[in-house]
Structure 1
Amino acid sequence: MGEDMQFRWIKKLGLAIAAIIVLFMLTPFAIVPAGHRGVLTTFGKPSEQVYDEGLHFRWPLAQAMHLVGVAIEKGEGEGDAASKDLQRVQTRVAINYHVKPEAAVAVYRDLGNQPGERIIVPAVHEAVKAVTARYTAEELISKRAVVRDDIVAALKERMSRHGLVIDEFSIISFNFSKTFDEAIEAKTTAEQLKMKAERDLQRIEVEAQQKVARAKAEADALALQRQQVTPELLRLREVENQAKAIEKWDGHMPSTMTGNAVPFINVPAAK
């Protein structure tokens, strides 16, 4: 009796699950979530209408709603290429793109709803190799923004044919051979030493000019002083010197004179 009850319970559970599956398959509605567009197929054939986000009617079993993502997708990748001067370059890039909502049917039908694998990846590799070959290794570094713009232009032409739009494209890095990196480092060092030598030379020239200017100023000052020395000025200086000597005299006359000078006569001091 217990086994029969257990069997009946399992049977009911199975029937309930089967009923849920049937109801799910027979539901006449399909939901298109945010960030997607719907492509309705009737016995596998897609319609030309693009279904927006929301709830849509469909014929159970005969029709199915397939979702195509139209939100921004991000991809990164790297690949090898050769520069114009035949330097090996490994480039790492990042791209943000999305599917045009109105192109959802074409993306589902022509690209198998896999735009990243079928278009983005090969298109990026091809564009990077083609553009890299136009520039020398040094130009890839110095003209990075121009190189990026050229790659984007090449990608847009191909991607637009398949209903894809580039939102952002970035060159993450350029990696060169060890020999080339060492050559660039040596060149950079030489340029820095050259700039330092030029700055030192400019400093020396400026200091020399300053010395010449100071010497000229001193010479001009001496010349001006000579022009200002007149007989009247000399007499004035002589009078000033005599006045200073009188101020310093203590009132006593010297008793003897050195050399051939005649000694002064001793004059009794006044009482």
Structure 2
Amino acid sequence: MNTEVSKNTKKSPIGLFINLGLGAFIVLVLAFNSFASVQYGHVGLYKTFGKLNDDILGPGIHLKFPFIQSVIQVNTQVTKAETDTSASSKDLQPVSTHVAVNYSVDKAAAFHLMNNIGGSYDTVIIAPAIQEIVKEVTAKYPAEDLIAKRDVVASEISDHLTKRLAKYDLIVNDINIVNFKFSDAFNQSIEAKQVAQQQALKAENDLKRIEIEAKQKVAQAQAEAESLKLKKQEVTAELVQLKQIEVQEKALEKWDGHLPAVTSGATPFIDLNSLGSNKK
């Protein structure tokens, strides 16, 4: 009897330590599960037995009932959703479009979004909305205008998408049409049209150049004719006589002293020999 009592007395400190350790572990577990953290750029929502609470929790540490409550986080930062769509233009050209949408969740309405749609709102709401609106807007424009008026098309898609997603407390921050793809036949027709336009422009420029050169020649001819006319107006009888005198003076300068017996022309030479014989 005494032996058994002494054995229980020796075991009691060990059991006490075990009990204390177990109690401390339970306390730590409860303490650890009594707090939840919400990351920066997110808001939190209490979830109690599967039911969401409409209290919005900001970033930081928050208390919760252990094993009864949990805190789900909703990303409120700008997020990008990319979608490929296939549609037809107004002139029935097949068009493949790659669209990138930057969106964010309205912090104040995070409860309504998560309670009504859930965490997969990007695939349930955003992607189908992009698909539908891109097809709707693309069908309003001929294929060539989709290229030439890319900014206008993107703006119209953005307006429609903004109104659609606002119903679900989603904010559209920006939208980009990353790429338009058309059929090979359409691309070839566009290339041929551009070549034809370039050739037409070259021909037009050549015609303008020829017209300018022709006008320049006409102007030059008119200038030369006017110059000749002015020169003719300057020729007078006195000028002609003066020119004749100049010619005769130059002829006398070159004369070697022998005169021809007979000359012709406006100014005859005098026979000096015959004059000499007559004097004798």
If the length of structure 2 is used for normalisation, what is the TM-score? Answer: 0.79
Match of 2:258 in 1: 254
Select between 227-236 and 209-218 the one with higher mean Cα deviation: 227-236
- 1:26 and 1:61 in contact (8 A); partners too: no
Contact 2:30 2:66 (8 Å CA) reproduced: no
Which aligned pairs between 1:74-153 and structure 2 lie closer than 5 A?
Answer: 74-153=80-159
2:53 to 41, 47, 55: 47
* Rounded Cα–Cα distance in structure 1 between residues aligned with 2:74 and 2:43: 5
Letter in 2 for 1:109: N
Q: What residue number does 1:7 align with?
A: none
Rounded to whole Å, the distance in 1 between the matches of 2:27 and 2:146 is 59
Q: Secondary structure at the match of 2:151?
A: helix
Q: CA deviation at 1:156?
A: 0.7
Match in the other structure for 1:183? 189
Q: Which runs of 5+ in 2 are unaligned?
A: 1-17, 274-280
> What CA distance in whole angstroms lies between the structure 1 residues aligned with 2:30 and 2:219?
98
Matched to 2:173, the amino acid is D
CA distance in 2, matches of 1:118, 1:21: 42
2:79 corresponds to 1:73: yes
In the TM superposition, residue 202 of structure 1 has moved relative to its aligned partner by: 0.8
Quote the Cα distance in structure 1 between the aligned partners of 2:39 and 2:245: 113
In structure 2, give the amino acid aligned to 1:254: H
What is the DSSP-based 3-state SS (H/G/I as helix, E as strand, rest coil) of the residue aligned with 1:172?
strand
Q: Which amino acid letter does the alignment assign opposite residue 189 of structure 1?
A: V
Establish whether residue 216 from structure 1 lines up as the match of residue 216 from structure 2. Answer: no
Give the stretch that moved more between structures: 102-111 or 153-162.
Answer: 102-111
Partner residue in 2 for 1:37:
43
Distance 1:245 1:21 in 2: 142
Moved more, 137-146 or 54-63: 54-63
Counterpart in the other structure of 1:8: none
Structure 1 regions of 5+ residues with no counterpart?
1-11, 266-271
Letter of the aligned partner of 2:92 in structure 1?
A: L
What is the deviation of 1:183?
1.6
Give the superposition deviation at 1:38.
Answer: 0.8
> Size of the alignment, in residue pairs?
250
Give, in angstroms, the shift of residue 159 of structure 1.
0.5
- Identical counterparts, % of pairs: 40
Structure of higher CA gyration radius:
2
Distance 1:239 1:39, change over 3 A: farther
Distance 2:191 2:27 in 1: 68
CA 24–94 in structure 1, closer or farther in 2 if over 3 Å, else same? farther
Given that residues 39 and 108 in structure 1 are in contact (C-alpha distance below 8 angstroms), is that contact kept between their aligned partners in structure 2?
A: no
Q: Deviations over 1:59-90 (max 9, x none)?
A: 22222111000111112221211111211111
Task: Give 1:225's aligned amino acid.
Answer: K
Write the mapping of 1:50-61 to structure 2, written as runs, cut at 5 A.
50-61=56-67
Aligned mates of 1:26, 1:259 — CA distance in 2: 144
Deviation of residue 244 (structure 1)? Answer: 5.1
Question: What is the CA RMSD across the aligned residues, in angstroms?
Answer: 2.9
Tell me if the contact between 1:25 and 1:61 (Cα under 8 Å) persists in the aligned partners: no
Distance in structure 2 (CA, Å) of the matches to 1:224 and 1:177: 70
Letter in 1 for 2:227: A
